[in-house]
Structure 1
C-alpha cells in the first residue's frame, strides 16, 4: 500500500514536471505593427503617396482577428502637420488613434509644436500612453503627460516598451515649446531603463524618435551599439525606409519611412522567455490597392474635414507651375517654392533679404488654384514672420550653419530671397560658403542688413544661435498668412529656380 502511494506520487510529480516543461517550451508569436513620422497624413493621397489610417486600421484589425498577439506602436511626429490636425491642435489624431487601439506613442520633436499645455491635454484625452524616458524637468517636478515605459503581457510573454525622444527637440520645435524641459542622453537613459526592466520582461522594445541620420548627435544605431539587452528599436525621426530592418549587434532597428507611405510590422518568436526570431516587414502603399478602408476611421476623417472646409477651401490665388516643397529638395537645394515663400517674407517687410529653414516647408502645391488649406499644409507650424537687423558676418555665419550638414536632408538647410551664395559641399563644415551677395552686391561683414525670418529661427531654432540676439525691427502675422497675402497680390505666380544657392 505504501509502495502504491509512492508510485502514484512519483507519477503525479513526473506529469506535473512534464506539463510544466511543455508550457515553458511553448512558442509564443507576437506581431508588432508600427508607423513613424506620419505628420498627420491620415488620408490616402496619390500625390504624397500616403496609405492613410483607414487602410492601416483595416490591416491591423484583420491581423487581430487572425492572430492572438498584436501590438501597435507609433514612433512619433504624430499630432501635427496637416490641416486636419492643426486646426484642432491634434485632437482629431488622438481620436483616430484611439479607435485604432494604439498601444503607445513616443514623442517626436513636432509633437511639441502645440506647446506643453496642449500635450498634457492630448495625453489626458488619449487612451494610449506617451512615452519619453529621457525627458525630465529642470525643476525636478514630474511631467504629467509622459511615462518612461509600459509592460504588456501576451500569452505569458511580457513585453517592455520604453520611449526615447530626440534631444534635437530643443531646436527642432520652437524653443518656447520646451522651456523648462531637459532631454537626457538617450544612451545612458536606455542603459538605466534596460537595467530596471530586464528582469521583469521577456522582450525589450525601445520606441524611439532618434533616427539614424549622420547629422544627428544621438541615433538609434548608437543606442543599439552601446546598450545591450534591447531586442527591437521601433524608430522614427530620420524618415528612413528600412525594408528588412537594420541589425546592429543583437538589436533589430525598424523604421517605416514617412507620411503613412508604409505600414511596418515585426514578427517575433519567443521561446522560454528568449527572443528566438525577429522578422521585419513593410507594407507599401501600392500593395494596398485592394484593401478596403475602415468605415469608422473614414467616417471620422470625413466629419473632421467637413467641419474644416469652411476655412480650408477658400482660394487665395493660382500658380502656373508646380511648387516644389518635396523634403529631399527643400533640405538640399534651392526650390521654386522656397523662393516664393522667402520672396513673400522679404516683400512683407521691404527687407534686404529673407531666410527660412527648409524643414519648415512640409509639402508641394500642384499647378492650378491654391487654397488656404494647401498653404497651411505647406507651412503648418504657426510660425510668425519677423524682421531682424543682422550683421553681414552673422548672416554669413547663418548660411554657413544652414549648409553644415549638406548633403544630409536636414531641416536647417536655408531657402533665401535677396541673397545669392555659392558653397563647396565637399569642404569641411564651417568653411563651405564661398561667396555671398545681398541685393546684387558682395556681402559686407560689417554692414547691418534687414533680414526677414521666422520666429523659430529667430529664437535659435534649428541651431541658428547667431540670430538669437539680433534686434527685432518688426513682426508680422503668421508665415502662412504672409504667403497667402503675397500669392493673392501676385497671382498667378510662377516662381523659378534662379541660382540663388549654387553648390560648386
Structure 2
C-alpha cells in the first residue's frame, strides 16, 4: 500500500495508496476473490508514522472525498491527497484540515501537476504550485510514443472506426443521470436484452454503462466506450420477491452517490418514494412476490456485482453472448436506432 521514491539530501517521497471497500462489490467477485481491502484510515496512519521523518508523504486515494477529508483530519501532516473516486475536477484544491486535496476529473481529460518543496531539516513537504493541464489535440505528441502507437492504431482503426449504423437521437449515459434516473440509453440497452432472449423483464446496472451514445454515425469504438466490459447475457428465473429486493437495492442511494448498482429496466415499471419501491408492475400487472419470472441480466449481476445478491445461485441459462456484441449486431441490422424516456422509473415526493 506504499511506495518510496528517493529525493535529495537523504530524503524520500512516500506515496501511500488507499481504496474504497466498494471495490469488493463494484467489480466481478472473481476479480477480488483473493483481495483484502484494508481500513483506509488505519493504513494511512500506520504508513505515515513510519515515513514522516524521511520526507513528504502523499496519499494516492481511490476513496470518496468524505473519506479523504476524514483522513486529512486525522493525519494533518500529509503533504497532499490526490483522489479519484468521485471523478470530479477539484479546482482550486480543497484543503480539509490544512491538507491540499486534488482530483483531476475523469477519462484522461486533465493531467494534474503539483510542485512540492521539501525542507531537508524538518523533512516536511509544501505544495508550492499546482495546475490541471487539459488533454487536447493541441498538445504536441511525443514522436517516440507516436511511433509505438502507430502500428496499434492501424490495426484498431480497421475495426473500431467501422460505422455500423446511425442513432437518430443522443442517448444519455452521463454518470450524474444514468446512475440515478431513467435514461433513453438505459432503456435502449435493456430493451435489446429482453427482445433477444424473450424474457419477461430485463435489468442492467448503471455502472456497466460508461458513456453516452451521440446522435449521428455509430462506430464499434463508440459502443466500446458505452460498454467497455465484456459482460455476458444471462437469463435467470427468480421470484417477484427477488425482483423487488433488487429494485429496492437499486434505489437505496442519493443522486450524489452516483451508485453503479442503480438499475435500468425493460418490461417493468415502478415508482420510487424515498428509498422504497412502489407499484411495481410487469405487463401492467402488479409484481407477485410468490410468482417466478424470467429475467435477463448480465453475468456480473448474476454473481452479485454491485451488491445485487438477489440473483446469486438462482437457476440460469448462460447465453455465451457478450452484451456488447449484441448491441453491435442489433445496430448493424437495424441501421438506425433511437430510444426515449418512457416513465418506466418515476420518482415521487422529491429526491
TM-score, normalising length: structure 1: 0.65
Q: Tell me the equivalent position of 1:249.
A: 97
| SS of residue paired to 1:181 | coil
Q: Tell me the equivalent position of 2:65.
A: 212
> CA offset at residue 293 of structure 1?
3.0
> CA offset at residue 316 of structure 1?
2.8
Change (3 A) 1:385 1:290: closer
CA contact (8 A) 1:243 1:281 kept: no
Number of aligned residues: 346
Change (3 A) 1:417 1:154: farther
> CA offset at residue 367 of structure 1?
2.1
Cα separation, 1, equivalents of 2:97 and 2:65: 15
Q: Tell me the equivalent position of 1:421.
A: 270
Q: Tell me the equivalent position of 1:5.
A: none
Q: Tell me the equivalent position of 1:403.
A: 251
Change (3 A) 1:464 1:344: same
Any residues of structure 2 matched to 1:10-409 within 5 Å, and which? 133=1, 148-154=2-8, 156-199=10-53, 201-212=54-65, 219-271=67-119, 272-275=121-124, 277-279=126-128, 281-283=130-132, 285=134, 290-408=138-256, 409=258
Cα separation, 2, equivalents of 1:299 and 1:331: 39
Cα separation, 2, equivalents of 1:289 and 1:501: 40
Change (3 A) 1:349 1:300: same
Change (3 A) 1:154 1:390: farther
Gaps of 5+ in 2: none
CA contact (8 A) 1:231 1:250 kept: no
Change (3 A) 1:302 1:331: farther
> CA offset at residue 299 of structure 1?
3.7
CA contact (8 A) 1:264 1:280 kept: no
Change (3 A) 1:154 1:443: farther
> CA offset at residue 473 of structure 1?
3.1
> CA offset at residue 228 of structure 1?
4.5
CA contact (8 A) 1:256 1:282 kept: no
RMSD: 2.1
What's the CA shift string for 1:320-378, capped at 9, x where partnerless? Answer: 11222222221121111111111111112101111111111111222233222221221
Given the alignment of the two structures, is residue 487 of structure 1 paired with residue 336 of structure 2, yes or no? no
Cα separation, 1, equivalents of 2:77 and 2:185: 46
Gaps of 5+ in 1: 1-132, 134-147, 214-218
Cα separation, 2, equivalents of 1:180 and 1:438: 39
Q: Tell me the equivalent position of 2:297.
A: 453
CA contact (8 A) 2:56 2:125 kept: no
Cα separation, 1, equivalents of 2:186 and 2:6: 46
What's the CA shift string for 1:24-75, capped at 9, x where partnerless? Answer: xxxxxxxxxxxxxxxxxxxxxxxxxxxxxxxxxxxxxxxxxxxxxxxxxxxx
TM-score, normalising length: structure 2: 0.91
Cα separation, 2, equivalents of 1:198 and 1:488: 58
Cα separation, 2, equivalents of 1:187 and 1:363: 32
| SS of residue paired to 1:387 | strand
Q: Tell me the equivalent position of 1:25.
A: none
CA contact (8 A) 1:157 1:273 kept: no
Cα separation, 2, equivalents of 1:346 and 1:494: 16
Given the alignment of the two structures, is residue 443 of structure 1 paired with residue 321 of structure 2, yes or no? no
| SS of residue paired to 2:65 | coil
More displaced, 438-447 or 272-281?
272-281
